[in-house]
Chain A
Amino acid sequence: MKNKKNELIQMAILIILGIAMILSSILPRIRIHNTLTELLEVSVIIREEDSSLWFNTRLGMEQAAEELRVELRFLTLPQANDSRAQIRLLRREHAQGADALVVVPADSSQLIAALTEQNLGCPIVSMESQADWSSPFIAPDNAALGRELAMAALEDWRGGSILLVNGCRSSTGLAIRAEAAQQALLQAGVRVQLETAEKEGELRQLMEETDASGVIVFEPALTEQAAALKESLESEQLLYGVGVTTAAAAYLEKGTISAVAAWSDFVAGYLAVESAVQQVKGSQYQVEPLSFFVVRGDEIYDPKYQKLLFPFMS
């Protein structure tokens, strides 16, 4: 009996040691294998048809993608601000296996409604405007940005009204900026004209027809367009915008644009992908609003601004 018990103990010891040995040799390989194959797919869908304005953002996204092992797909819409196309694209990307989606909503309310109707089941990170109240939102404080831009305009204001131009009515982020700027200007006793310029030619018409002493636009694409129009129209209006592309920087340097509210697009892109990855992994990820600054033409070569404004192309 004792002999049988001893044999059982010995057998148990050998089996335990054998299993432990096999596991210790196999598990690291499985982990390495999992690490190697764990390539997340993240699709980025912006609301424009041209992604050149998102160059710096894309650099940040690619940096995060490289570090976090993400396969990045950067998609534009066939037509700018086409919300339905954007929703279709979101569903298609999800169906094709995207682990997470980063979206710049063309129409926040439609997107929220669509997501409420049919939950995609994968994490969504929104930029500029919030697409899903429970998802991470990468943007500066839009209201504060609108107010700061209004304050910059007030510093230069010498009388007259100020034209506020929203490039996308359905974008809640842009709407918040515009409304906040409007409020700040109205509180300062400035007459405000709030308009929308979604289609080609509308901005030109507005700028030609307005008698406002200043114009404020709330998105990078419109900022470039407004600066170009101002030069072509040889307008004396003061122009304020959002975002610094290389063209916008040149306009800023020349004085065509008086000031822009800007933030690091690189940081925004990086944080968007990082938060998407953290969402996929189920980690808690708190995103603070991006810090922004208002910069004028004579400040762009300030070391602290040039590092943020101009991508470091090595």
Chain B
Amino acid sequence: MRTLFHPLTAKIVDRFRNMSIQMVISLSFTAVAVMGVFCIGLSLLLCFSDLSKTQAQESAQRLLAQVNLNLDSYLHRMMRISDAMYYRVIKNTDLAEGTLASEMNLLYDENRDALVSIAVFNSDGGLEGAVPLSGMKASADPAESRWFQMAIERMENLHFSTPHIQEIFDDPDHRYRWVISLSRYVQLTRGGNTESGVLLVDMSFSGISQVCRNVELPNSGYLYLTDRTGELIYHPRQQMIYTGLLEENNLKAAGYPDGVHEEEFQGTRWQVVVKTVGYTGWKLVGMVPESGLIGDSDSLLPFGASLLLFSAFLMAFLNFRISAYISDPIRRLEQAVKDLEAGCESIEIEETGCYEVRRLGRSIRSMVSTMRHLMDDIIQQESQKRRSELEVLQSQINPHFLYNTLDSVIWMTESGRNMEAIQMVTSLARLFRISLSKGRRVIPLADELEHARHYLNIQKIRYRNLFDVRITAQPGTEGLFTLKLTIQPLLENAITHGMAGSVEDGLICVDARREGEDLVIDVTDNGVGIRPEIVSTLLDENRPALRTNGSGIGVKNVHQRICLTFGRKYGLTILSEPDEGTTVRVRLPALNEAAAEHYRQEDSL
């Protein structure tokens, strides 16, 4: 069994695995809901069927009790007629002196609606009196009749026969009427002596029929009446049974005690309700077909199926909508992420659906927003880098600087200071060579210091040795690398702003040293210094750029380049005291050859 179901289970699981979340939710919920509705429907059906059965039984029993009451009343009326005939007429009549006719006629007239005839016979079957017909048939032999013999045999009882054709009296209209005979033993008085006799009251069969007819039991059921042996007295389709067109289970039913029984007869299950009619021992039998009472009735099953289908339809519709409510926002998020991957920038991340999905959307939107900011930052940083580099390159060809330097060379040459002119031109050439450095951003510290030195040489010549220069590199800085053109702008700044207004001998010191993992370069001048309110704004990114007559590269530019290249923990620090001087401290990472190579590769990318 397990091997039989395993492939099936695996197939279903596989199928489910490949389904969308919406289909899984829809189908699972719908299937569970339909099963639930089916179970509830089934239990309701069973409850309803039990209830229907019970109600049908109770209803049938009530109807049978009512019919029994009516039948009992009808039979008692017949018995009262018999009693009246016996005690009021027969007992008071001496047949030797008079006849029974007038009293019998009166009694008959009073009850002619229910009677066919009243007759009194002597013990030999001879007629003593009869109404309304008085002529016996030639072939009639009452003494041989069963009703007569029963009356004689059981003198103390009244005897009810089963339906039969009235056969004693000659009817001039040739009417053959079905009657039920009530017979009893009577004592006739003749000449003061008593004789045995039989009183016969023939009841019209229609009287019994009227009591039992038109009784509608539940579910098109019917009732019939049998005597204690099971012979039919009344049946709604009596003629069909008599002619063999129909069969009834009357013989078996007559054996049932009072109450409700179940039986199967000719392929149909029946509830058989039995009630014994008092005195006569007759049995009223109510037949209620079970098939229409419960679930397989013509109307209940389609109704139940319709209800089940309606529930399934409703559940399926709701489940489809709910699953769509859950899955559609997820699907839209998925699509938005795919579009983002494809590079589409104008994607709006929705925050719709249920709480969890909204949160997911919010997270994705936040993530996308962060990504965009980061990308903007990167773009901005790259842009700044490029701009800074451009500015540096521009500085190398600053026309004023070049013009002034070349003008100084001319002036020195004209004045015969050839050696100085040669030195100046040599320094200028060296300055440009180091500036280019094959396009590298990161160059050895030694080159950077040499660049600074050449620059200062040129400036010293131009400023006629207005200031002295001291460049030192402490031990441990050998082999370290630095960002190109870091010191020169600071020197330019020191010369322009520090030395220009100084009257004493100026001094500009460049000192490089290693502090742990950092390379620190101090550019110090003993110039006029900078006011504190200006110091605090010099490195401000939002400060408008100031054009100078120098190389055009400001302190801020150096600071930004260092920060962009190595991060915010590196950069410049400006320490200044008015009339004392200024120190600009450059802090860089202590880059060795390998680290410097890494930055060079980035440049090449």
Interface residues of A (CB under 8 A from B): 2-3, 6, 9-10, 13-14, 17-18, 20-21, 24-25, 27-28, 31-32, 59-60, 63, 246-247, 249-250, 253-254, 264, 266-267, 270-271, 297-298, 301, 303, 306-308, 310-314
Query: In the complex the two chains form, is B139's CB within 8 Å of A17's CB?
Result: no
Contact B313 A28 (CB under 8 A): no
A267: chain B residues within 8 A (beta carbon): 243-245
Within the complex, the shortest CB–CB distance from A295 to chain B, in Å, comes to 13
Q: Chain B 139-182, CB within 8 Å of chain A: the 1/0 string? A: 10000000000000000000000011101000000111110000
Q: How far is the CB of B229 from chain A (nearest CB, A)?
A: 13
Judge whether B309 and A14 touch: CB under 8 Å. no
Residues of A close to B38: CB separation below 8 A: none
Q: Nearest 8 A-B pairs (CB), nearest first?
A: A314-B209, A307-B242, A21-B309, A28-B302, A250-B174, A24-B306, A17-B313, A25-B306
Cβ–Cβ < 8 Å partners of A20 in chain B: 309
Since A27-B302, A267-B245 are in contact, a sample of 4 more A-B pairs with Cβ atoms closer than 8 Å, ordered by chain A residue number, is: A17-B312, A264-B243, A301-B165, A308-B243
B20 at the interface (CB under 8 A from A): yes
Q: Contacts A253-B137, A270-B240, A301-B165 given: A310-B176 contact, CB under 8 Å?
A: yes
A299 CB to closest chain B CB (Å) equals 11
Complex interface: chain A residues within 8 A of B213 (CB): 314
Contact (Cβ within 8 A) A266 B176: no
Closest to B298 in A: A28
| Contact for A298 among B139, B312, B320, CB less than 8 A | B139
Q: Is B481 at the interface (CB under 8 A from chain A)?
A: no
Closest to A267 in B: B243
Q: Does B22 lie at the interface of the complex (its beta carbon under 8 Å from any beta carbon of A)? A: yes
Which of B22, B164, B176, B177 contacts A249, CB < 8 Å?
B176
Tell me whether A25 and B302 are in contact (CB under 8 A).
Answer: yes
Whether A303 contacts B23 in the complex (CB less than 8 A), given A3-B331, A270-B245, A311-B239, comes out as no
From the candidates A9, A31, A270, A313, name the one contacting B206 in the complex (CB within 8 A): A313
With A21-B306, A24-B302, A307-B243: A6-B20 Cβ-Cβ less than 8 Å? yes
Give complex CA distance A21, B304 in Å.
10
A9 to B19, CA, bound (A): 12
Residues of A within 8 A of B316 (CB): 10, 13-14, 17
Closest partner residue, chain A, to B320 (CB atom) = A10
Tell me, yes or no, whether B237 is within 8 Å of chain A by CB.
yes
Beta-carbon contact of B178 and A310 below 8 Å: yes
CB proximity to A under 8 Å, residues B283-337 = 298-299, 302-303, 305-306, 309-310, 312-313, 316-317, 320, 331
B206: A residues at CB distance < 8 A: 313-314
- For A270, the closest partner residue in chain B by CB is B245
Q: Are A63 and B239 in contact (CB under 8 A)?
A: yes
Residue of B243, B302, B303 contacting most chain A CB atoms (<10 Å): B243
Residue from B22, B240, B298 whose CB has the most chain A CB atoms within 10 Å: B240
Is B238 an interface position by the 8 A CB rule? yes
Chain A residues, Cβ within 8 Å of B435: none
Q: Please give the distance in Å from A123's CB to the nearest CB on chain B.
A: 21
Q: In whole angstroms, how far apart are the Cα atoms of A175 and B176 in the complex?
A: 32
- Most B CB within 10 A of own CB, among A249, A253, A271, A314: A314
Q: Residue on A with the closest CB to B310?
A: A21
What is the CB-to-nearest-CB distance from B448 to chain A, in angstroms, rounded to a whole number? 63
Which one of A2, A270, A307, A311 lies within 8 Å of B20 (CB-CB)? A2
Partner of A63, one of B20, B23, B205, B237: B237
> What are 13 A-to-B residue pairs whose CB atoms are below 8 Å?
A3-B20, A6-B20, A10-B316, A13-B30, A20-B309, A25-B302, A63-B239, A246-B176, A264-B243, A310-B165, A310-B178, A313-B178, A313-B206
- Max count, chain B CB within 10 A of own CB: residue among A18, A246, A301: A301
B207-266 with Cβ < 8 A to chain A: 209, 213, 234, 237-240, 242-245
Q: Which residues of B contact A2 (CB under 8 A)?
A: 20
Which of B213, B234, B244 has most A Cβ within 10 Å? B244
